[in-house]
Copies of this chain bind each other. A is one copy, B any other.
Amino acid sequence: MKLGSLKGGRDGQLIIVSRDLDRYVPAAEVAPTLQAALEDWSAAAPSLEQISQALNAGERTDARDLDFTALASPLPRAYEFLDGSAYLPHVERVRRARGAEVPETFYTDPLMYQATSAGFLGPRDAVPVVSEDYGIDFESEIVVVTGDVPMAASVEAAGEQILLVGLVNDVSLRNLIPAELAKGFGFLQSKPRSALSPVLVTPDELGDAWQDTVLKLCLHSYLNGDWFGSPDAGQNMQFNFAQLVAHAARTRPLVAGTIVGSGTIANDDTSVGASCLAEKRMLEIIADGKPKTPFMAFGDSIRIEMLDAAGENIFGTIEQVIERHEP
């Protein structure tokens, strides 16, 4: 099934969306919000699934047309967002850009950081930024949402708690990153609010494309309407989602509704394009000694989506414009 949230209240209003993303039914009879459903998933999921099946069969006369601009993030806020960096070609390129090596341990121990989870932008919301000087970039990624994961859970147990899958535009302020990372405590100001895809889906919606907690499909990014990249998320993922969730839970339990990210999707094959500007600029530096593609400016737009084998949009499209924020 596919789940989303209408704007309204701090946690939105849970809706069940049809497979073709055309219609929806409010889920208030089961749970007011997605967070509430996740906290009581074994009770909520069967009821939501039943509504989903009836909706897809055209049997819900109360179904309404879906307006993507009326959508909040499926989880407008969450208690934890742990973003991995599982596609090592991305890590290699970004580090090469600043003359750093990729340590051997990166191939055996996932790279992951504590990201902000207090607010996610709606899938069609503008991205507010104070200054273009921050070096505004997008990052196209996949996320999973978990149930309650016990501390120090095994990879297998962690994998069983992957309840939903979606996309994220992990907005990055590149020019703030070097000074922030130099302080040694990770990202803070350089990673503002991100946007999740219009809907999150249960793994069964992905069919054969979901294998061993890896999503084997291409993720498409378009910058100002032009194709930017379509790397295959099934290639070069060094750690699968079960491993990423287990890594996140090594010294703490994860609560229902925790979001774990894959990191920017990237392949060894650079002809498939990239999922962020930083990588494209890196290749330009290698070729010409300097980048020619600028970071995003106010008014620039980014579109991120994933299609299934039949060419159908799975999660809906993230489509955002960068907007000047006046403090």
Contacts and interface: CB of A to CB of B under 8 A. Distances in A.
Interface stretch (A41-49, A77-85, A208-216, A287-295): A77-85
Interface string A78-116: 111010010000000000000000010110010111111
B188 A114 contact: yes
A134 B251 contact: yes
A273 interface: no
Interface stretch (A16-24, A179-187, A219-227, A314-322): A179-187
Contacts of A112: 185, 188
B80 A251 contact: no
A252 B248 CA distance: 24
A313 B185 CA distance: 33
Interface string A141-156: 0000000001111100
A118 B258 contact: yes
Given A152-B325, A153-B327, A253 B119 contact: yes
A173 to B, nearest CB: 6
- Indicate how many identical chains form the complex: 2
B82 A79 contact: no
Interface in A1-44: 10, 39
Given A152-B130, A185-B111, A188-B113, A118 B79 contact: yes
A258 to B, nearest CB: 7
A258 B113 CA distance: 19
A140 B186 CA distance: 22
Contacts of A183: 103, 105-106, 109, 111
A77, A116, A248: most-surrounded residue (chain B CB, <10 A):
A116
A80 B251 CA distance: 19
A254 B134 CA distance: 19
Contacts of A307: none
A255 interface: yes
Interface in A194-238: none
Given A152-B325, A176-B251, A251-B134, A187 B129 contact: no
17 contacts: A10-B39, A78-B79, A80-B116, A103-B182, A113-B188, A114-B187, A117-B117, A118-B254, A152-B325, A181-B184, A185-B186, A186-B186, A189-B247, A189-B250, A189-B251, A190-B251, A192-B252
Q: Ordered nearest first, which 8 A-B pairs have the shortest CB separation? A: A186-B186, A152-B327, A79-B118, A113-B185, A80-B118, A192-B251, A114-B114, A192-B252
Interface of A: 10, 39, 77-80, 82, 85, 103, 105-106, 109, 111-119, 128-130, 134, 150-154, 173, 176, 179, 181-190, 192-193, 247-248, 250-255, 258, 325, 327
